[in-house]
Amino acid sequence: MSTVLTIGADGDLAQRFAEVSGGHAVALGVDALADGGLLGHLVMPDAPHLLVLGPEVDLDEAFAIAGQVEVVAPSTSVVVVAFADPDLWMEAMRAGVRDVLSPHATEADVAAVLERATALAQARRAAMAPVSPASVQASAPAPAPVRRVVVVASPKGGVGKTTVATNLAVGLATAEPGSTVIVDLDVQFGDVASALALVPQHTLPDTVHGAASNDPLVLKTFLTPHPTGLHVLAGSDSPAAGDAVTAADVAQLLDTLSREFRYVVVDTAPGLSDLTLTALERATDLVLMGSMDVPGVRGLRKELDVLTELELVPGGRHLVLNFAGSSGGLAMADIEETVGAPLDLVLPRHDAALVATNTGVPLLQKGGKDPVTRGLQSLVERLAPRPATGRGRLPRRRVGAR
Ligand SMILES: Nc1ncnc2c1ncn2[C@@H]1O[C@H](COP(=O)(O)OP(=O)(O)O)[C@@H](O)[C@H]1O
Ligand SMILES: [Mg+2]
């Protein structure tokens, strides 16, 4: 079975896909689009995970194809090859394109695109598979679990990153025991441990500099257990110790953790530090947060533009606006226009969130009925869709208060 189908990609790019897919790539010329044979390749039960529409395919045609593929082969991700600017990126996403790959993509870029497509294909196939006793007894091996590295970031502090990251992690760990680790990458002022009422014995700097750095078994003993089954790697207890953590340390740490855990949730410091960018290089999902005020909304747009420019927006992108309430004159339509994309989740300002931080009991651990808890639960479901519902669509924006 071919995992990758490239159409109209030049020899170098097609070659790179052949290499990263271990030879499971088929390269066709643009004439494959002329005779309507393309859809035939895609509706087969083993449709490719990834359809790459190379520079020789006209962009409008590529976008139209992406729309068709979404319908006939939802487990196939479409990638177009083009120099992306924010407008093109937006148009591509709206058309159903999963990634825009630069014509100068390196082998690492190509591998990352394929990895995301494979993860998505597996998730979609699992979600669409009928659950029946026969399928449980089937002798075919179960597909490898989908691994996700979820980075929670924002341009500014105090917008709710730690609140969202800790709740997301607790929600995922509760849904699937033993599946989730949270890493506090706010190495200088991280407060994940405090938000979870934990007193960790080990912190991030001990982990990346000692025996745990290259031994997954030792690494696991450095994690702090939370009563919900979540594993926690706390930030440093002193800014100086935090300074000694390098991007290379973080890269190695996240690579190891993502082999050991199905979900790695990463809380970050405000802005785009080296450590955050390193985490984003490994992310399958970005939860990008802003607050509901003019600087907050503009900051969100700027950060999204910069990350798009750097090609560091992973396939799973979740835009979250926090502290919605009396709008202070900001209309949701204006906010979305400024951000340049629809918001995926709007969380209202609510005292329950503050109480949760102060008592160290996350909202999803407590399970209240307030709108912030409900919004956070919907975010968990975006990342870990329940297969039984089988509708194959991520929940649209969940609005707590408007
Ligand atoms: N929706 C909300 N309503 C009320 N308070 C909130 C909300 N979200 C977060 N907070 C509070 O705002 C403060 C900052 O949140 P935090 O998650 O630490 O932000 P960050 O990690 O981005 O600095 C915390 O005291 C938290 O309880
Ligand atoms: Mg924080």
8 Å CB contact between 294 and 160: no
Tell me which residue range forms the domain holding 349. Answer: 148-387+394-399
Same-domain check for residues 152 and 293: yes
Neighbours of 214 (CB within 10 A): 11
Q: Looking up tokens 């207890």, which residue turns up?
A: 237
Question: How would you list the strands of the sheet with 231-233, edge to edge?
Answer: 224-225, 231-233, 180-184, 263-267, 148-153, 285-291, 316-324, 345-348, 398-399
Same-domain check for residues 121 and 156: no
What is the reported pLDDT for 110?
Answer: 86
Q: Is 157 in the pocket of ligand 1 (CB under 6 A)?
A: yes
Burial of 336 (0-12, 13-18, 19+ CB in 10 A): middle
Examine the fold and report which residue of 127, 156, 185 is the final residue of a domain before the chain moves on. 127
- Any idea which ligand is nearest the CA of 192? 2
Examine the fold and report which residue of 64, 92, 127 is the final residue of a domain before the chain moves on. 127
Structural domain includes residue 286: yes
Structural domain includes residue 77: yes
Neighbours of 240 (CB within 10 A): 9
What is the reported pLDDT for 129?
Answer: 57
Same-domain check for residues 36 and 120: yes
- Any idea which ligand is nearest the CA of 235? 2
Distance 267 CA to ligand 2 centre (A): 7
Structural domain includes residue 138: no
| Nearest CA owner, ligand 1 atom 2 | 349
Distance 191 CA to ligand 1 centre (A): 11
pLDDT, one tens digit for every residue, the chain (402 residues)? 468 888 898 888 888 888 888 888 888 888 888 766 676 666 655 678 888 999 999 888 888 888 777 766 777 888 999 887 767 777 777 777 888 888 888 888 888 888 877 777 777 666 655 444 444 444 455 555 579 999 999 999 999 999 999 999 999 999 998 999 999 999 888 999 999 999 999 999 989 988 888 788 889 999 999 999 999 999 987 888 888 899 999 999 999 999 999 999 999 999 999 999 999 999 999 999 999 888 999 999 999 999 999 999 999 999 999 999 865 667 888 899 999 999 999 999 999 999 999 999 999 999 999 999 999 999 999 998 665 433 434 444 544 433
Chain centroid offset of residue 308 CA: 14
Residue 61: what residue type?
E
Same-domain check for residues 115 and 219: no
Structural domain includes residue 81: yes
Structural domain includes residue 141: no
Distance 26 CA to ligand 2 centre (A): 45
- The C-alpha atoms of residue 147 and residue 72 are separated, in whole angstroms, by 25
Residue 41's CATH number = 3.40.50.2300
Same-domain check for residues 86 and 224: no
Structural domain includes residue 139: no
Structural domain includes residue 69: yes
Q: Is 177 in the pocket of ligand 1 (CB under 6 A)?
A: no
Same-domain check for residues 116 and 165: no
Tokens of 100: 């825009």
Q: Looking up tokens 């509706």, which residue turns up?
A: 43
pTM for the structure as a whole: 0.66
What is the reported pLDDT for 386?
Answer: 63
Structural domain includes residue 135: no
Distance 160 CA to ligand 1 centre (A): 4
Residues near ligand 2 ion, CB 5 Å cutoff = 161-162
Same-domain check for residues 78 and 168: no
Same-domain check for residues 181 and 300: yes
Neighbours of 257 (CB within 10 A): 25
Residue 166's CATH number = 3.40.50.300
Distance 159 CA to ligand 2 centre (A): 8
Q: Is 322 in the pocket of ligand 1 (CB under 6 A)?
A: yes
Q: What single string gives the DSSP state of each residue in 17-63?
A: HHHHTTT-EEEE-GGGGTTS-HHHHHHSTT--SEEEE-TTS-HHHHH
Same-domain check for residues 183 and 103: no
Same-domain check for residues 185 and 325: yes
Same-domain check for residues 152 and 112: no
Same-domain check for residues 242 and 318: yes
Report the SS3 class of residue 263: strand
Examine the fold and report which residue of 127, 160, 176 is the final residue of a domain before the chain moves on. 127
What is the reported pLDDT for 138?
Answer: 47
- Any idea which ligand is nearest the CA of 156? 1
Question: How would you list the strands of the sheet with 50-53, edge to edge?
Answer: 25-28, 4-7, 50-53, 77-81, 99-101
Total domain count, the chain: 2
